[in-house]
Amino acid sequence: MTTVDYKKLKKAEKEASKHSAARNQISKGTNLFFNIVLIIGCVLTLFPLWIIIVSSITSEVALTTYGYRLWPLEFSVNAYTYLFRDGSVILTAYKNTLIATLAGTLLSVVTVGLYAYALSRPDFKYKKFFTFFSFFTMLFGGGMVSYYNMCRSVLGLKDTVWALFLPMSFSAYWVIIMRTFYQSSVPEAIIESARIDGSGEWRTLLQIVCPLAIPGFATVALFSAIGIWNDFRNCLLLNDKAQFYNLQYTIYQTMNNLRFLKENASRMGGVNVANLPAETFRMAMAVVTVGPIIMAYPFFQRYFVKGLTVGAVKG
Amino acid sequence: MSMDEMTKPIKRKRGSVSETKRQWAYLLMVIPGTLFLIAFAYLPMPGVILAFKFYQMQVPPDGALLQNTFLYSLFHSNWNGLNNFTYLLKDAPMLIRNTVGYNLLFMVVGVILQVGLAVVINEMRNRKTAKVYHTIMFMPYFVSWIVVMYALYAMISPSGFFNQLITSMGGQTIKFYSQKQYWPWIFLIANIWKYTGQGSIIYLATLTGFDDQLYEAGAIDGATKWQQFRYITLPQLMPVIVMLQILAVGRIFNGDFDMFYSLPNGSGTLRQVTSTIDVYVYDMLKKGNLRNSFGYAGAGAFFQSVVGFFLILITNGIVRRHQPDMALF
């Protein structure tokens, strides 16, 4: 009996709030205006990516003759066939980036997950110390010079695949997100009852807490994956040998070479600009670089937004 | 986001076996993270003294306590007083203007657009479409600055889209990569493009958590939508805005290194408007033929770390004095 009444009450409440919300809405005209503004915003957002994609499927001749256009004047997938046929440089970079992203993401979920769990436990004796220990790194850092030297010579990361993910596998910011996530979505009572049932801390964490904290893990994983996949600075600082370059640094180098060649082509006289490394090829490189991470986005989006907001909002 | 807020500790018997065991389990859990923090955050910290050293590479002799060349050189190089800063001084006005100027610009424009976007999306009558808009606008966050550099090249290079547009309308090709006046705008637009959608998420989440009754009461009293925004939404949003700005102030001498370094495409003529302290530090770092280049770079890095640190303390202190609830710590 009571449950039925309760349900009815809730339904009525919902209806009521729906009606009052309807009264307190923006006018249809304003709504239309907002829609138009946001559609323009979306078009502008997609435009730069559109230009890259279009130019990557334009034929090289059309691109050099007519420049970058809104539509491919002559359609061609040559850039991509060339990329995958003779792409040893990009393949190495892809391999490095993939290894770094997978390893780094796994590592960050484990390390952040563990660290944040201990901080989320009210009965951890050194909670305050370790909280401060990680928070302080958000406020103060040693700076690029000393980081550069420490990583290269003291930690020995120079010219290794490790350099592409280790420095980015842990962050105090993620610890805060993850800790807040544990606190808000894992009820203390569950942990207590597991303890009473004789479960040790590790078993409680693995079998009871972990399944509940998956959205939090997904958030940390996505943050970490984006950071490592899109990393440019660490590779620039730490890796000098081409066999250890990641994707971003590789395509950065390629662009630089292209610009250099173009600027000096006239001065060098005999060089024919049309014979220079193809621009469509470069644009195809940019497309393959950005592709996977954008593809991953829709799958992670709901976790991501949830995790971001849970972790960042005070209280 | 205050770090030390804790739920009341549960009273239990101290010193029991399971209690000790539990503390050990917790300690074991924080060890991996602690190692990462030590290696990549704490180990470089003492390196700020580079700013006061005349760094000379010295090979450690056999039997020296420090067998690492960098560490040995760091501690055995002579002190250089404030000379590294004097060296920095000739570029300092330009570097600080660029770094702080761009950061302030991004902060102000960013807050307005991000809060604006969040409010607009929250108010829209067609909820589903609003979500689609937001999803699209979030996307640039996933695109690296290097890919942005490519997109920019495709748009503003001599054969790029905009120049095609300009010439087709009878104009002259603009050489963006050698003309300074366009770059503040390019950086601003690139920054808006990349961060508006992502930055608005946190405001949107805060907005949706507000009590509807406040708005209903407002509406009954005849408040227009704009007045509701001004007197209900904005005051409630303020703590989040302030909190994010305190963190941003602490990083005001840092910049988006990837953006400032990559977008100008290595163009030297743009240096005056594209060099930030980060870029300066990196350039110095790479000047192998310059004696004491590490020291000079260190002076720039010192500026970022130490001044940034005190800035965040001061800002937080001021906020705490006036609005204790809004302070970060």
* pLDDT at residue number A238: 93
Question: Could you tell me where the beta strands, DSSP code E, fall in B163-208?
Answer: none
> Exposed, middle or buried, B329 (CB in 10 Å: 0-12/13-18/19+)?
middle
Q: Distance (Å, rounded) from C-alpha A213 to C-alpha A71? A: 46
Q: Distance (Å, rounded) from C-alpha B248 to C-alpha A248? A: 26
CB B222 within 8 A of CB B92: no
List CB contacts (< 8 A) between A109 and chain B.
Answer: none
Q: Write the CA distances from B103 to B37, B94, B107, B254, B259, integer angstroms.
A: 27, 14, 6, 8, 12
Give the count of Cβ contacts less than 8 A between chain A and B.
325
pLDDT at A314 over 50: no
Phi, psi of A75, deg, nearest 5: -75, 140
**Ordered DSSP codes for A21-88:** HHHTS--HHHHHHHHHHHHHHHHHHHHHHHHHHHHHTB-HHHHHHH-S-SS-SSB--HHHHHHHHS-H
Phi, psi of B90, deg, nearest 5: -70, -25
CB A259 within 8 A of CB B176: no
Q: Does A173 lie at the interface with B, CB-CB under 8 angstroms?
A: no
Residue B190 token pair: 């690139």
Question: Could you tell me where the beta strands, DSSP code E, fall in chain B?
Answer: 53-54, 78-79
* pLDDT at residue number B5: 47
Q: How confident is the model at residue A311 (pLDDT cuts 50, 70, 90)?
A: low
| ipTM (interface pTM) | 0.84
- The stretches in chain B having pLDDT less than 50 are 1-8, 13-14
CATH 1.10.10.10 fits B86-142+175-326, yes or no: no
Distance from CA of B80 to the nearest CA of A (A): 17
CATH number, span A87-312? 1.10.3720.10
Number of CB atoms found within 10 A of residue B48's CB? 23
Q: Which of B123, B125, B297 sits opposite A145 (nearest CB)?
A: B297
List CB contacts (< 8 A) between A132 and chain B.
Answer: 3-4
The residue of B2, B3, B149 whose CB has the most chain A CBs within 10 angstroms, and thus the best one to mutate to test that interface, is B3
* pLDDT at residue number A313: 45
> Exposed, middle or buried, B5 (CB in 10 Å: 0-12/13-18/19+)?
exposed
**Ordered DSSP codes for B279-312:** HHHHHHHT-TTSTTHHHHHHHHHHIIIIIHHHHH
Computed from CA positions of residues A152, A154, A160, A164, in that sequence, does the dihedral angle turn out positive or negative? negative
Distance from CA of A10 to the nearest CA of B (A): 16
Q: Distance (Å, rounded) from C-alpha A237 to C-alpha A257? A: 19
* pLDDT at residue number B101: 93
pLDDT at A46 over 90: yes
Q: Distance (Å, rounded) from C-alpha B154 to C-alpha A69? A: 9
**Ordered DSSP codes for A139-193:** H----HHHHHHIIIIIS--TTSSGGGTGGGS--HHHHHHHHHHHHHHS-HHHHHH
**Which tens digit of pLDDT belongs to each residue from A172-201?**
989 988 888 888 888 888 888 888 888 888
pLDDT at A106 over 90: yes
All CATH 1.10.3720.10 domain ranges of chain A, comma separated, are 87-312
List CB contacts (< 8 A) between A23 and chain B.
Answer: 219
Q: Does A164 lie at the interface with B, CB-CB under 8 angstroms?
A: no
Contact A139 B312 (CB under 8 A): yes
CB A259 within 8 A of CB B265: yes
Q: How confident is the model at residue A49 (pLDDT cuts 50, 70, 90)?
A: very high
* pLDDT at residue number A306: 66
* pLDDT at residue number B2: 46
By C-alpha distance, the chain B residue nearest A154 is B68
**Which tens digit of pLDDT belongs to each residue from A51-94?**
999 888 888 777 877 788 888 887 887 778 777 776 677 888 88
> Exposed, middle or buried, B11 (CB in 10 Å: 0-12/13-18/19+)?
exposed
Average pLDDT of the residues of chain A:
82
List CB contacts (< 8 A) between B128 and chain A.
Answer: none
Distance from CA of A82 to the nearest CA of B (A): 19
pTM: 0.85
CB A90 within 8 A of CB A291: no
Strand partners, A75: A58
3-class secondary structure, A203: helix
* pLDDT at residue number B1: 44
Residue type, A286: A
* pLDDT at residue number A13: 61
Distance from CA of A153 to the nearest CA of B (A): 7
Computed from CA positions of residues B128, B130, B136, B138, in that sequence, does the dihedral angle turn out positive or negative? negative
CB B118 within 8 A of CB B204: yes
Q: Does A145 lie at the interface with B, CB-CB under 8 angstroms?
A: yes
Contact B150 A37 (CB under 8 A): no
**Which tens digit of pLDDT belongs to each residue from A229-262?**
999 999 999 999 888 999 999 889 888 776 666 6
List CB contacts (< 8 A) between B120 and chain A.
Answer: 34, 37-38
Domain residue spans of chain B: 86-142+175-326
Distance from CA of B97 to the nearest CA of A (A): 20
Indicate the length of chain B as a whole number: 329
By C-alpha distance, the chain A residue nearest B156 is A68
Q: Which of B26, B284, B298 sits opposite A118 (nearest CB)?
A: B26
pLDDT at A140 over 70: yes
CB B178 within 8 A of CB B269: yes
Distance from CA of A160 to the nearest CA of B (A): 16
* pLDDT at residue number A57: 84
* pLDDT at residue number A181: 85
